[in-house]
């Protein structure tokens, strides 16, 4: 997931605020039926997520999350943004095209969240039953559904005044900021002569002057600030198990004002990565232009009415930039001792960095066909 770079390890919050039994926390929310179990859900790198299973079956289940306060120091603002979003779109309502967002489950005190006795911030959202997510796309039809869903989300929030949304992640997606942090770290420590590390450093150094391209366009008034999802990667899109249609875009803690180019770039980064984001081999890293064409073609059908010529002009840069940016962030976290992104073993963030930079490199090698599909869309 995309978040700002200079925060401490998510796991550090576990030391400061020990986790209470999630089942005990779940009992603090207004659920329709008695709780059966509260097992972990998903493999998120930031927050701790659980599924509240009840006697009423999937239709009455909920998703429980402990928000990482090292990443989101003001978690109330996340919920205020979510409330504004749901009020604007229509909380939980199907918009007529099969798309809906999860509802907020109130706490026993009537609030949109719960503070436990250890200082942890929790929220519960309605579980969208009969759905599942994917880590990789299996066909073009799924890719088109991804494009439709992201486009539908952007269309639904296009008229939402960004002044009503908090900036819950200052500096989020500001690539020059991430580069400055990396340079600070490099100046503070000696480096090992490691081939993967050397590849990352050379790749980044060769492109650092270009990396501010979207921010410069924003500052010059060519690109417009709009509401964004902030993390529309593939496994945050829910597909109906029977119809195979995408029906929801979840993980809404990063909703904030920003450039929709960040959403488009991150979505394509996630979906067009052959081999998947966790592939063990860098040889599997390839940006799939055909999948990109399927996603963007359907996305533009939903958004063409409000996109400008400048929006189109900077799309290639967004597609190239977002994996580059994430590679910078993974590398920085590796050099800082894995203080931000959760890892299962030593060196994992370095390997993640290599994969993302290889993906950006693959985009560069295919610049002409990507620009061509953008001009034809």
Q: Give the pLDDT band (50/70/90) at residue 16.
A: very low
Lowest-pLDDT range of 7-16, 129-138, 217-226, 263-272: 7-16
Q: What is the pLDDT of residue 199?
A: 96
Residues 351, 115: Cα–Cα separation, whole Å: 36
Query: 118-169, pLDDT tens digit by residue?
Result: 999 999 999 998 999 998 898 999 999 999 999 999 999 999 999 999 999 8
Q: What is the mean pLDDT of the chain?
A: 89
Q: Can you tell me the mean pLDDT for 315-330?
A: 97
Name the residue among 287, 278, 276 with its Cα closest to residue 351: 278
Task: Kindly tell me if the per-residue pLDDT of 340 is higher than 90.
Answer: no
Task: Kindly tell me if the per-residue pLDDT of 18 is higher than 90.
Answer: no
Residues 61, 64: Cα–Cα separation, whole Å: 10
Q: Give the pLDDT band (50/70/90) at residue 217.
A: very high
Structure tokens at 263: 């959403």
Q: Can you tell me the mean pLDDT for 93-100?
A: 66
Q: Can you tell me the mean pLDDT for 317-339?
A: 95
Query: 247-297, pLDDT tens digit by residue?
Result: 999 999 899 999 999 999 999 999 998 766 665 567 779 999 999 999 999
Q: What is the pLDDT of residue 8?
A: 33
What is the reported pTM? 0.88
Lowest-pLDDT range of 20-34, 44-58, 306-320: 44-58
Residues 340, 157: Cα–Cα separation, whole Å: 30
Q: For the chain, what is the HEC assignment?
A: CCCCCCCCCCCHHHHHCCCCCHHHHHCCECCCCCEEECCECCCCCCCEEEEEEECCCHHHCEEEEEECCCCCCCHHHHHHHHHHHHHHHCCCCCCCCCCCCCCEECECCCCCCEECCCCCEEEEEECCCCEECCCCCCCHHHHHHHHHHHHHHHHHHCCCCHHHCCCCCCCCCCHHHHHHHHHHHHHHCCCCCCHHHHHHHHHHHCCCCCCCHHHHHHHCCCCCCEEECCCCCHHHEEEECCCCCEEEECCHHHCEEECHHHHHHHHHHHHCEECCCCCCCHHHCEECHHHHHHHHHHHHHHHCCCCCHHHHHCHHHHHHHHHHHHHHHHHHHHHCCCCCCCCCCCCHHHHHHHHHHHHHHHHHHCHHHHHHHHHHC
Q: Give the pLDDT band (50/70/90) at residue 45.
A: low
Q: What is the pLDDT of residue 280?
A: 54
Structure tokens at 37: 């179990």
Domains and CATH numbers, the chain: 12-130 (3.30.200.20), 140-376 (3.90.1200.10)
């Amino acid at each position: 997931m995309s978040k700002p770079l200079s925060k401490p390890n998510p796991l550090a919050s576990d030391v400061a605020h020990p986790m209470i039994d999630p089942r005990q926390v779940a009992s603090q929310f207004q659920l329709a039926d008695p709780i059966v179990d509260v097992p972990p859900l998903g493999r998120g790198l930031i927050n701790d997520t659980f599924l509240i299973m009840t006697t009423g079956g999937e239709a009455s289940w909920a998703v429980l999350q402990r928000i990482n306060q090292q990443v989101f120091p003001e978690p109330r603002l996340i919920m205020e943004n979510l409330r504004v979003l749901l009020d604007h779109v229509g909380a939980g309502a199907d918009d007529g095209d099969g798309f809906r967002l999860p509802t907020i489950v109130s706490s026993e005190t009537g609030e949109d969240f719960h503070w436990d006795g250890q200082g942890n911030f929790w929220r519960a959202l309605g579980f969208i039953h009969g759905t599942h997510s994917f880590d990789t796309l299996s066909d073009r039809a799924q890719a088109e559904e991804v494009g439709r869903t992201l486009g539908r989300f952007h269309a639904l929030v296009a008229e939402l005044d960004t002044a009503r949304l908090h900036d819950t992640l200052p500096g989020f997606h500001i690539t020059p900021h991430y580069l400055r942090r990396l340079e600070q770290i490099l100046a503070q420590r000696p480096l090992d002569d490691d081939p993967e590390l050397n590849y990352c450093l050379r790749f980044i150094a060769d492109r650092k002057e270009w990396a501010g391209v979207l921010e410069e366009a924003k500052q010059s008034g060519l690109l417009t600030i709009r509401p964004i999802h902030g993390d529309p990667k593939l496994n945050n899109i829910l597909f109906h198990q029977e119809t195979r249609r995408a029906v929801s875009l979840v993980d809404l803690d990063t909703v904030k004002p920003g450039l929709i180019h960040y959403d488009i770039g991150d979505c394509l980064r996630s979906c067009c990565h052959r081999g998947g984001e966790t592939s063990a081999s860098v040889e599997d890293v390839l940006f799939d232009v055909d999948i990109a064409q399927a996603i963007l073609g359907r996305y533009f059908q939903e958004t063409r009415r409000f996109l400008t010529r400048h929006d189109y002009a900077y799309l290639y840069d967004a597609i190239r930039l977002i994996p580059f940016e994430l590679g910078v962030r993974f590398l920085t976290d590796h050099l800082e001792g894995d203080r931000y992104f959760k890892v299962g073993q030593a060196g994992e963030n370095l390997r993640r960095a290599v994969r993302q930079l290889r993906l950006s490199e693959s985009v560069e090698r295919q610049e002409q066909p990507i620009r061509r599909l953008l001009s034809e869309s």
